[in-house]
Amino acid sequence: MLGRRSDERFRFAAPAAGAVDVFYDVIVKWSADNEWIAFSREPAFAGETLVLDVDDGEQRSRFTVHVIESSPVIVDGDMRHRLRLRGAASPPAFFEQQVRRG
Give me the DSSP letters along 43-101: ---TT-EEEEEEE-SS-EEEEEEEEEEEEEEEETTEEEEEEEEEETTSPP--SS-----
Cα–Cα distance list, 35 to 7, 45, 64, 84 (Å): 48, 16, 11, 7
Per-residue confidence (pLDDT) for residue 9, from 0 to 100: 66
For the full predicted model, state whether its pTM sits above 0.85. Answer: no
Residue 62 belongs to a domain: yes
Per-residue confidence (pLDDT) for residue 7, from 0 to 100: 65
Number of separate domains in the chain = 1
Residue 98 belongs to a domain: no
Per-residue confidence (pLDDT) for residue 102, from 0 to 100: 53
Residue 4 belongs to a domain: no
Residue 79 belongs to a domain: yes
Per-residue confidence (pLDDT) for residue 72, from 0 to 100: 94
Residue 81 belongs to a domain: yes
Per-residue confidence (pLDDT) for residue 70, from 0 to 100: 92
Q: The domain containing residue 61 runs over which residues?
A: 37-87
Residue 56 belongs to a domain: yes
Residue 59 belongs to a domain: yes
Residue 12, classed as helix, strand or coil, is coil
Each residue's pLDDT, cut to its tens digit, for the chain (102 residues) gives 566 666 666 666 777 677 777 777 788 888 777 888 999 888 888 888 888 887 778 888 888 889 999 999 998 899 999 999 998 775 555 555 555 555
Residue 48 belongs to a domain: yes
